[in-house]
Structure 1
Amino acid sequence: MSTIAAVLAATPSPSPTSTVPDVDVTPGVAGFIAIAVVAVVTILLVIDMTRRIRRTRYRAEIRERLEAEAEASTTADGRAAVTTDEPGRRAAEDGRADLGDDTERG
């Protein structure tokens, strides 16, 4: 037991070897610029995400409205009724592949 006590007594406790006061240690200009860039990029990402979510919601509302119009214009025997106010509208929209696609910009 005396050898363990002698080893523990002989082991010095670590002391701080820094000569610079902790108050003078700062990230500096580079740290400020890095944090500012991260903040700006975060704000831009939030704005872009909000636009995409809003665009997706509007497209879903329009899709539901178009489907409701298509159901309302269908006759009792299952054939679609032709409207005279917009003759080529449904044919042009039926050929669109990007009706629910959110990859286009605009």
Structure 2
Amino acid sequence: MQHAIAVILSAATTPSPTPTPSTVDPDIVTPGVVGFVVTALIAIAVILLVWDMMRRIRRGRVRADIQEELDAEEQAARAMEATEVDDESIDPADDDTRGDVPGR
């Protein structure tokens, strides 16, 4: 325990080096024209990719809506066909032969 305290105290009392003030060369610290051009090209590429992605998503939604409408029309046609088949299977002549028709 005493050893840990001694290490902490010695680290606290050791002077830390301070940087000497010097002039900074702006060409070393800034990206310059090349950095700006590369960043601008990346930004343009991202904008074009997002634009293409949105166009594809929109196209997919329209296709899904059209497919949904076609499926609904097909289902309605099947229901109509099933109703017509059910109507044809009922024979009105069978109703007259049962004898429970009023008026006969």
TM-score bucket of the superposed structures, by smaller chain:
0.5 to 0.7
Which one of 39, 43, 50 corresponds to residue 47 of structure 2? Answer: 43
* Percentage of identical aligned residues: 46
Residues 81-100 of structure 1: matches in 2 within 5 Å? none
With normalisation by structure 1, the TM-score equals 0.55
Q: Which residue is equivalent to 1:4? A: 10
Distance in 2, Cα, partners of 1:52 & 1:37: 23
Which one of 58, 61, 73 corresponds to residue 57 of structure 1? Answer: 61
Q: CA deviation at 1:55?
A: 0.8
Distance in 2, Cα, partners of 1:62 & 1:16: 71
Q: CA RMSD in A?
A: 3.3
Count of aligned pairs between the two proteins: 75
Q: Which residue is equivalent to 2:89? A: none
Which of the two has higher C-alpha Rg? 2
Q: Which residue is equivalent to 2:18? A: 14
Unmatched runs of 5 consecutive residues or more in structure 2: 1-5, 86-104
CA 1:44–1:16 in structure 2 vs 1: closer, same or farther (change >3 Å)?
A: farther
With normalisation by structure 2, the TM-score equals 0.56
Unmatched runs of 5 consecutive residues or more in structure 1: 80-106
